[in-house]
């Protein structure tokens, strides 16, 4: 397992994309700070300048190149051959991607702390009471923690699709479509299935709204029909489900 982890961390650290993406994230955060009016300063801090969707897209691109591209190019064969168990290969990729996910979120908070010192954001107080009767700094950490679960759900979908589909471009396209249109598709599904809403509201696409609902509860709650806790449990549950099913496909896959 340690050798598989070393290989994955080595590969990730020697690719250009993982190093470029944090810089792109900073540029996008600056852009969001310039686009949103100054009265949204507290919300920008709470959401780390609305980085949730951007981080998800970065994870889709990075994870796909780390996993599905290896299927497409058959380089996965070497990893499977050297590892004593396919589970080690699968888990090592998951651990590396989740670690990169955590790094991106930590960087987004650091960038936020720096950006509030610039003219693009009106002065804010870290200890000012904001949402959920909590200090703004607690709101930011809580939103980041919630978004780690949302992003884990996307990672699990990437792993599942990568094991199912041997096309890197298709995996990227499908997951980006889920990020941008998944919540709308879920909302339409709920509106058109009023009699089955109690069941349909638990669909996996609805769980992608977790982060958005956390920082805009009053607006989003009516669309999801689930509480924050229910979305959190659902997102964690589906993450585990897709990761397990993805591994079962990976284990049975013939290379």
Higher pLDDT among residues 66 and 112, named by residue:
112
Chain centroid to Cα 147, Å, comes to: 7
Residue 156 has pLDDT above 90, yes or no: yes
Residue 165 has pLDDT above 80, yes or no: yes
pLDDT, tens digit, for every residue of 32-87?
A: 999 988 788 899 999 999 999 999 999 998 887 777 677 666 677 777 777 788 88
Of 122, 146, 166, 163, the C-alpha closest to 217 is 146
Residue 159 has pLDDT above 70, yes or no: yes
For position 203, what pLDDT does the model report?
92
pLDDT, tens digit, for every residue of 169-193?
A: 888 888 888 887 877 787 777 777 6
DSSP string, 55-106: HHHHHHHHHHHHTHHHHHHTTHHHHHHHSS-HHHHHHHHHHHHHHHHHHHHH
Q: Hey, where are the domains in the chain?
A: 2-179
pLDDT, tens digit, for every residue of 113-155?
A: 999 998 887 888 999 999 999 999 999 999 999 999 999 999 9
């Amino acid at each position: 397992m340690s050798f598989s982890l070393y290989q994955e961390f080595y590969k990730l650290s020697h690719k250009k994309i993982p190093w470029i993406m944090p810089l792109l994230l900073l540029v996008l955060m600056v852009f969001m700070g310039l686009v949103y009016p100054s009265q949204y300063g507290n919300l920008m801090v709470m959401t780390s300048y609305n980085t949730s969707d951007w981080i998800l897209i970065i994870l889709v691109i990075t994870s796909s190149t780390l996993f599905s591209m290896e299927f497409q190019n058959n380089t996965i064969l070497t990893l499977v051959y050297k590892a004593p168990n396919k589970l080690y290969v699968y888990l090592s990729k998951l651990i590396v991607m989740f670690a990169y996910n955590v790094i991106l979120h930590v960087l987004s908070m650091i960038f936020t702390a720096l950006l509030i010192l610039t003219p693009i954001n009106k002065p804010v107080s870290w200890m000012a009471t904001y949402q959920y009767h909590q200090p703004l700094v607690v709101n930011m950490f809580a939103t980041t923690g919630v978004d780690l679960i949302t992003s884990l759900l996307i990672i699990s979908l990437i792993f599942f699709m990568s094991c199912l589909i041997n096309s890197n471009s298709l995996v990227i396209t499908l997951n980006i479509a889920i990020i941008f249109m998944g919540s709308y598709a879920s909302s339409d599904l709920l509106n058109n299935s009023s009699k089955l809403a109690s069941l349909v509201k638990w669909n996996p696409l609805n769980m992608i709204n977790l982060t958005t609902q956390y920082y805009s509860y009053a607006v989003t709650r009516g669309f999801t029909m689930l509480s924050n806790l229910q979305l959190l449990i659902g997102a964690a549950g589906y993450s585990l489900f897709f990761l397990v099913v993805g591994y079962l496909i990976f284990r049975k896959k013939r290379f």
